[in-house]
A and B are shown apart, each in its own frame.
Chain A
Amino acid sequence: MQKTNAIKEPVSDKILLGIIYTVLIAVLIVVLYPLIYIVSSSFSSPQAVVSGRVWLFPVEFSLKGYTAVLNNPRIWLGYYNSLIYMVVGTLISVSLTFALAYPLSKRTFYGRSPIMYMIIITMIFSGGLIPYYLTVKGLGLIDTRWALLLPQAVAVWQVFIAKTFFQESIPEELNEAAAIDGCSDLRFLWSVVLPLSKPVVAVLALMYAVTAWNSYFDALIFLKNVDLYPLQLILREILIQNSVDNSMMVDIRTMEARQGMKDLLKFSLIVVSSLPVLIIYPFVQKHFVKGVMIGSLKG
């Protein structure tokens, strides 16, 4: 594939591009198909889904799945709660991550190594569920929204990702040059680093937002009443109903009713609950467009 002849280059490039396009189209199909299945199932009648008749297009078109979602006040409340957790949580997370990653990215930062070790240890070792619960309880956060916003605020992964971004994109010389000009650390951060960090911030924000949106476990253990439940927890409750529990003898009709609810809501709920995170992606995407980082930095 490596041609040194200038005339022949476009051909090998074209071939490569052709391969890339083919592979990506294949990827698109493979990924798209199950997604279409989900959407089609959400618009089909539950009976059709259960009997396996849905393949590509909706069978027995029905909006029952969606009306059931819309009619369920708990789902609406969950949606609202999840949005709050996602937005506020992301703000908190991104700020804290930034505040930690930037200093760590400077090679001359005193104490850099021990701090890095310290946080890596937290990634590997954990006291387990009970100490975690007791800590949150000790801080008086049980049954409050803060219990879902604070304990998981900073992910070590993201700190390191951000740190790596800073290291690669903000050269030390720039900082030193600015310092000579009398620019303080914070001012440098604010006026130089921040504008240049759009891709990093975008990535961090997306990952934290998605994590916050998907989380349910903290809500499960920290909340005492369902008014603060995020959507994912409710979704889970519905989906896991009727799964194995032989010791729970419930009367048949209730069992069937619950199963029916699960069949009805399963797909429409997935679609509805995935919408926000799917929608924010294009907005975040534009920060990954090539060339956003002005080359003058590296020059």
Chain B
Amino acid sequence: MSNNIITEASRTIPATRRTGLSEAMRKIRRHWQLYFLILLPMLYFILFKYVPILGIQIAFKDLNPKLGIWGSPWVGLKHFEAFFNQPNFWLLIQNTLFLSLYALAIGFPVPIILALMINELRDGIFKRTVQLVSYAPYFISTVVMVSMILLFLAPRIGVIDHIRTALGLDSINFIGEPSMFKSIFVLSDAWQYMGYNAIIYIAALAGVNPQLYEAAKLDGASRLQKIIHIDLPSIMPIMVLLLVLNMGQLLNIGFEKVYLLQNPLNTSSSEIISTYVYKVGLVQANYSFSAAVGLFNSIINLVLILLANFGARRATGSGLF
């Protein structure tokens, strides 16, 4: 943006370099209060985010505690090679990506739909109850959540099984089927997080100008049309934002829940990058190895977020950046 103009200018006419700098200083001075405002947050980012990023080098070293990060010996791509040459490598990537994309495909729209529906309700007990109740599961810790999942899905004694047999269907050992693993994971996540994730959208919808609704009503629009033409566009920026941000975290899918839901019958579907790294680390913590895998993840995530942002720009005219 403004950067380009200045770089351009400074390239073609050396004399205008001065102008570029003073132009910048002028803008800064005019809004000095704003720059003052961002000082503290930027300091935070430098201290707590950028300084540690320097430590990424341990992915290329063999970390020795006595020598520290800077003193440890370089080993180049050794850890990356170990990771890539691992026989399961493609399976891990596949499982991780599919699981994440599936989670996104379900987990992304559900809170939006929930928020849109809640928005249609009149203010009152029902509306507030639905919000509060759907928000509550967020706080159940993963360990307990998995316990409950295993309990409810258990063939003989689980509540799902009872419902199935009541309907005349046979029992399925859900948790032992590799094909069901991802669905169990994704649907339980949707269940647990939809209320919490809907909050942002509910808040955004609260900001919609009521006059728009009235105008729509006068034009004879139905509720559905109103949702499509007013509500959705008003939350579109947030939606795009969250979608792009999510793409940037795609390979980071949390390990604990997957690990607890794993069993020998479903590993072909449930072994993901983070559970593998965890198992390797159980024998001996090797931070260089996990740093290498982490860096690999980051690079993929970076590509994904750039793609997503580009796609969002194309589709809606504005992206994250």
Contacts and interface: CB of A to CB of B under 8 A. Distances in A.
A and B touch in the complex (CB under 8 A): yes
Interface of A: 1-4, 6, 9, 12-13, 16-17, 20-21, 23-24, 27-28, 30-35, 37-38, 52, 55, 96-97, 99-100, 102-104, 106, 108-132, 134-136, 139, 150-151, 153-154, 156-157, 159-161, 164-165, 167-169, 184-186, 189, 199-200, 202-203, 206-207, 210, 214, 232, 235-236, 239-240, 266-267, 270, 273-274, 277-278, 281-282, 285, 287-293, 295, 297-299
A108 B141 CA distance: 44
A185 B203 contact: no
Contacts of A96: 40-41, 44
Interface of B: 1-3, 24, 27-28, 31, 33-35, 37-38, 40-42, 44-45, 47-56, 58-59, 63, 69, 114, 117-121, 123, 126, 128-141, 143-144, 148, 151-152, 157, 159, 191, 195-196, 199-200, 202-211, 220, 222-225, 234, 237-238, 241-242, 245, 248-249, 287, 290-291, 294-295, 298, 301-302, 305, 320-321
B132 A282 contact: yes
Contacts of A127: 52-56, 58, 291
Q: Which of A104, A169, A274 has the most CB of B within 10 A?
A: A274
B146 to A, nearest CB: 11
B44 A154 contact: yes
A159 B245 CA distance: 12
A37 B148 CA distance: 9
Contact of B207 (A113, A130, A168): A168
Nearest to A116: B321
Contact of B134 (A31, A139, A165): A31
Chain A to chain B: the 9 pairs with minimum beta-carbon distance, closest first:
A131-B55, A127-B55, A100-B41, A127-B52, A122-B49, A131-B52, A103-B34, A110-B27, A274-B139
Nearest to A291: B210
7 contacts: A1-B224, A21-B121, A55-B159, A111-B28, A126-B53, A127-B58, A161-B200
A167 B237 contact: yes
Given A123-B245, A124-B305, 13 more contacts: A33-B159, A99-B41, A103-B34, A112-B1, A118-B45, A122-B50, A131-B53, A135-B48, A168-B237, A270-B140, A282-B132, A288-B206, A291-B206
A20 B227 CA distance: 12
Contacts of A157: 245
A118 B245 CA distance: 14
B44 A186 contact: no
A197 to B, nearest CB: 10
B152 A34 contact: yes
Contacts of B191: 30-31
A124 B301 contact: yes
Contacts of B305: 120, 124
B40 A99 contact: yes
Contacts of A102: 34, 37
Contacts of A131: 51-56, 58, 69
A160 B240 CA distance: 11
